[in-house]
Amino acid sequence: MSFKLDTPIDMHLHLREGKLLKDVLQWSAEQFAAGVIMPNLVPPVDNMDRLRKYRKEILENLKEKQFTPLMTLFLRHYSYRELEEAKGEIFSIKLYPKGITTNSEKGVSSIEEFYPVFEIMEELEIPLSVHGETNGFVLDREREFAPIYIQLAERFPKLKIIMEHISTKELAELVRDYPNLYATVTLHHLLFTLDDLAGGRLNPHFFCKPILKTPVDRAVLQRLVREGHPRVMFGSDSAPHILRDKLKGAAGVFSAPVALPLLAHFFDGDWKGLQRFISDNARRNFNLQIPEKEVEILEIPWEVPHIVGEVIPLLAGERLRFRVRGIG
């Protein structure tokens, strides 16, 4: 059995720089036609010079593979002129609350201070991608952020706001309430819970922000994705860290190698549903013009690599039911 996906897009992807980029890039470039590339490098991607150099580094490492990096800028106090210049070269601007996740030290402490930037973005039709967590108790951080999403959605009705990597029942419900709220869902929040991280032996390869949640949260997310909500899209949040950093507690799941095989398992025959989640919703919502690319999934068992460069992938060494043609 096999089926083809048309132009799969990863709406939330960390590719890093230098050697790490070289090691991990092919896994996304093989499986996806495009990816929204996160700007939380050190220093952050917060000017067009840095963004263009970073984009060039990605393109140079593609080695003929067809993959479109959709670039993002790290939120700061941009002027109208800066955003006018950036508009044609970026997909969105990313808001990180200060200190909430990997490389977010330059993030935002007061959302209101950025209202003037959101006004410009609304006018120029630049979407806002948001890591929606407070600095409260780790399991409550995302639901505590819901009022901020509501405040933004109501105050800037024409601004497209993407709630990144939603992991709770509350946000899965909130996306239905405002036409300018969108959501990305990761593989790991869709398939796993806190038990996979800490229920038995501690497994740091499941540790990420936002942290994995309860079976109830997962069930609500699964329902939202299965029903094919038009504003819900796949964003892996694949976030590689070398093993040494991972063992020091770095947050991030490297899921790029297993993205399509596990999604095929989840949708199990509902290939139209998978197509919507992996591409159609994103292309329609954001009018993405990406060169078409066909990716074939085969129902042939595949063993996940034990290590990619110096990074351990999600489900390393396990046998999966599906594989992507051309990989392994």
Q: Does 75 bind ligand NCD (CB under 6 A)?
A: no
Q: Does 142 bind Zn ion (CB under 5 A)?
A: no
Residues between 36 and 55 that touch ligand NCD (CB under 6 A): 40
- For ligand NCD, how many residues bind (rule: CB under 6 A)? 11
Q: Does 194 bind ligand NCD (CB under 6 A)?
A: no
Residue given tokens 């038009």 in the structure block: 230
Helices of type H across 32-114: 48-60, 80-86
Nearest to 20 by CA among 250, 301, 280: 250
Minimum distance between the CB of residue 207 and ligand NCD, rounded to whole angstroms? Answer: 7
Residue given tokens 């129902």 in the structure block: 299
Helices of type H across 178-315: 187-191, 194-198, 215-226, 243-246, 259-267, 271-275, 281-286
Minimum distance between the CB of residue 108 and ligand NCD, rounded to whole angstroms? Answer: 14
Residue given tokens 């399509």 in the structure block: 260
Sign of the dihedral through C-alpha 243, 138, 190, 30: negative
Minimum distance between the CB of residue 52 and ligand NCD, rounded to whole angstroms? Answer: 21
Angle at 185 between CA 250 and CA 137, to 5 degrees: 50
Residues between 221 and 260 that touch ligand NCD (CB under 6 A): 237, 239, 251-252
Determine which one of 237, 268, 270, 280 is catalytic: 237
Rounded-to-integer distance, Cα 40 and Cα 105, Å = 10
Residues between 108 and 137 that touch Zn ion (CB under 5 A): none
Q: Does 237 bind Zn ion (CB under 5 A)?
A: yes
| Contact criterion met (CB below 8 Å) for 235 and 283 | no
Residue with Cβ nearer Zn ion (23 or 237)? 237
Q: How many Å from the N-terminal Cα to the C-terminal Cα in the chain?
A: 18
Pairing, β 92-95 against β 181-185: unpaired
What does 276 interact with, of ligand NCD, Zn ion, none (CB < 5 to 8 A by kind)?
Answer: none
Catalytic annotation present for 49: no
Considering all CA atoms of the chain, what is the largest pairwise distance in Å, rounded to the nearest integer? Answer: 54
What does 102 interact with, of Zn ion, ligand NCD, none (CB < 5 to 8 A by kind)?
Answer: ligand NCD
- Which of 73, 107, 131, 152 binds ligand NCD (CB under 6 A)? It is 131
**Residues with active-site annotation:** 237
Residues of this chain that interact with Zn ion (CB under 5 A) are 237
Residues of this chain that interact with ligand NCD (CB under 6 A) are 14, 40, 101-102, 131, 208-209, 237, 239, 251-252
